[in-house]
Amino acid sequence: MKVEEGTIISLLDNGLAEIKVGRHSDCIACGACDGANDIVVKALNPVGAKVGQHVSFELRETNIVVGAFVCFIMPLLVAVIGAFLGYLAGQNGSVDTVQAEIVGGIAGFCVGLIGVKLFDRSLSNDDKVKPKVIQIHGH
């Protein structure tokens, strides 16, 4: 488990808290936040932290690795598979091979992006993968 710290900025109705977290070295390679200085994390709040409190929260490192793979690698792999299928379709002679590869690659990439969205939706209701507030500091 990886433990991070941040400040509660809002409480949500479903037992979640939004935590403002400063960027650190792990964020440099990701780039998902478009260069923002702070990011906001939604975490389970079983300790009952209030807005403005400084907290520690934990998240599973395996979730980070799987999420990074699904978001960044999977669409590219599916695009390559689509391009290969386009190549095979072009070998039949009915369409130009290069055009078929391009169309297959673009279609594969779009399918990969849809897969990312479906993966995100499937995890949004799973409390096991959400970060969890574990401690209130100065309490």
Q: What is the pLDDT of residue 8?
A: 93
CB 56 within 8 A of CB 134: yes
Domain boundaries, the chain: 2-62+127-137, 64-125
Show pLDDT as tens, one digit a residue, over the chain (139 residues): 788 899 999 999 888 999 999 865 555 555 555 556 788 988 999 999 999 999 999 988 877 788 889 889 999 999 999 999 999 989 887 789 999 999 999 999 999 999 999 988 888 777 788 899 999 997 6
Q: What is the pLDDT of residue 68?
A: 86
**How many Å apart are CA 120 and CA 118, to the nearest integer?**
5
**How many Å apart are CA 68 and CA 17, to the nearest integer?**
23
CB 1 within 8 A of CB 131: no
CATH architecture for residues 2-62+127-137: Beta Barrel (2.40)
Q: Which pairing describes strands 38-44 and 54-59: parallel, antiparallel, or unpaired?
A: unpaired
Q: Which pairing describes strands 54-59 and 2-11: parallel, antiparallel, or unpaired?
A: antiparallel
Q: What is the pLDDT of residue 28?
A: 54
CB 30 within 8 A of CB 72: no
CB 135 within 8 A of CB 106: no
**How many Å apart are CA 37 and CA 33, to the nearest integer?**
9
What are the C-alpha distances in Å from 125 to residues 38, 102, 121, 128? 25, 36, 7, 9
Which pTM does this prediction carry?
0.66
